[in-house]
């Protein structure tokens, strides 16, 4: 991946750090990266020795500016970018709930891509949904995809209106899976297992099943059927989990609905 005129990263917390490590691993030179971060990690401070620009003056016309701050901090962060003179610089925002129109109101007539990654990006196994405004060219989108593919899969949305649902599903989704591990572990303890063993079994089961679903040609529904013997233990458990009123599906409908509604609230301020 070639960065010709500089990459600016505004905010380098967990997600920003995950992206940075992916970029460096894919060949982006530290001296082509400018980072604005009020609380730099020891890693960022050390990278200055390799040429990384930390809280220093920004290039006039960078290739791309990545906005990786919390939604509540976005307005103040955009003010830090006023010294950038080029209107052709691509802006890539990973802030939940902040729309393309809201960003354009601050950034003017610039190409802007909005993205929603998730935390498995930290190990290169994330998935990011992206969409751009009318100013985004094919070249802009290719650059955004190249940067984001260093931390996992990238999918392009048909319309920005899908972003709230994406935020609720894949953006917040890792937390739901982590809670599933917690809940399965607790249920195992309730059935008599030691806590450490229950946690190990639940974690490996969720991780293994997820990897199997990702690598299999069969849909998740068929994989479920493959595990389920008639009148067996799995079927007994699934009767509870798949209850149309009290089971997992209606619960997840409410869960994602709450998260999507919160995403809409964030963009309304």
pLDDT in tens, the chain (269 residues): 678 789 999 999 988 998 898 889 888 999 999 999 999 999 999 999 999 999 988 888 899 999 999 878 888 888 778 777 677 889 999 988 889 998 998 888 899 999 999 989 888 899 999 999 999 999 999 999 999 998 899 999 999 999 999 999 999 999 999 999 999 999 999 999 999 999 999 999 999 999 999 999 999 999 999 999 999 999 999 999 999 999 999 999 999 999 999 888 876 65
> CA gyration radius for the chain?
21
Predicted confidence at residue 266, as pLDDT, reads 75
Predicted confidence at residue 106, as pLDDT, reads 86
Q: Which residues contact 178 (CB under 8 A, 6 or more apart)?
A: none
Predicted confidence at residue 3, as pLDDT, reads 80
pTM, to two decimals: 0.88
Predicted confidence at residue 214, as pLDDT, reads 95
Please state whether beta strands 7-10 and 53-54 pair in parallel, antiparallel, or not at all (unpaired): unpaired
Q: How far apart are CA 226 and CA 212, in angstroms?
A: 12
Predicted confidence at residue 269, as pLDDT, reads 59
Predicted confidence at residue 25, as pLDDT, reads 86
**What pairs with residue 67 in β-bridges?**
10, 93
Q: Is 42 helix (H, G, I), strand (E, B) or coil?
A: helix
User: Could you tell me the two tokens for 59?
Assistant: 């290039």
Could you tell me if residue 150 is left (phi over 0), alpha (psi between -120 and 50 degrees) or otherwise beta?
Answer: alpha
Q: Give every strand in the sheet of 126-132, ordered side by side.
A: 53-54, 33-36, 7-10, 64-67, 90-93, 112-116, 126-132, 152-156
Q: How far apart are CA 64 and CA 112, in angstroms?
A: 10
Query: SS3 letters for 172-209?
Result: CHHHHHHHHHHHHHHHHHHCCCCHHHHHHHHHHHHHHH
Q: How far apart are CA 36 and CA 69, in angstroms?
A: 10
Burial class (CB in 10 A: 0-12, 13-18, 19+), 206: middle
Please state whether beta strands 33-36 and 7-10 pair in parallel, antiparallel, or not at all (unpaired): parallel
Q: Which residues contact 63 (CB under 8 A, 6 or more apart)?
A: 3, 4, 5, 6, 7, 89, 90, 143
Domains of the chain and any CATH numbers: 7-159 (3.40.50.720), 173-267 (1.10.3730.10)
Q: What are the CA-CA distances from residue 181 to residues 159, 172, 186, 206, 238 (Å)?
A: 33, 15, 9, 7, 17
């Amino acid at each position: 991946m070639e960065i010709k005129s500089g990459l600016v990263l505004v905010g380098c917390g967990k997600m920003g750090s995950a992206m940075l490590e992916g970029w460096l691993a894919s060949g982006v030179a530290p001296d082509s990266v400018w980072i604005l971060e009020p609380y730099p990690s020891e890693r960022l401070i050390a990278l200055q020795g390799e040429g990384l620009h930390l809280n220093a003056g920004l290039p006039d016309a960078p290739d791309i500016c990545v906005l990786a701050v919390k939604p509540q901090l976005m307005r103040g962060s955009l003010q830090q970018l006023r010294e950038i003179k080029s209107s052709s610089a691509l802006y890539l925002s990973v802030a939940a709930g902040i729309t393309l129109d809201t960003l354009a109101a601050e950034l003017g007539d610039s190409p802007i891509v909005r993205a929603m990654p998730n935390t498995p990006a930290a190990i290169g196994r994330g998935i990011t949904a992206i969409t751009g405004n009318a100013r985004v060219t094919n070249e802009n989108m290719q650059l955004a995809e190249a940067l984001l593919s260093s931390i996992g899969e990238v999918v392009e949305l048909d319309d920005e209106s899908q972003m709230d649902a994406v935020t609720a599903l894949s953006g917040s989704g890792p937390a739901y899976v982590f809670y599933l591990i917690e809940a399965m572990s607790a249920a195992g303890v309730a059935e008599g297992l030691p806590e450490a063993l229950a946690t190990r079994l639940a974690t490996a089961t969720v991780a293994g099943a997820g990897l199997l679903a990702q690598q299999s040609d069969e849909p998740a529904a068929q994989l479920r059927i493959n595990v389920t013997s008639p009148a067996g233990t799995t079927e007994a458990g699934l009767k509870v989990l798949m209850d149309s009123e009290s089971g997992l599906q209606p619960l997840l409908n409410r869960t994602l609905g709450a998260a999507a509604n919160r995403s809409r609230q964030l963009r309304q301020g």
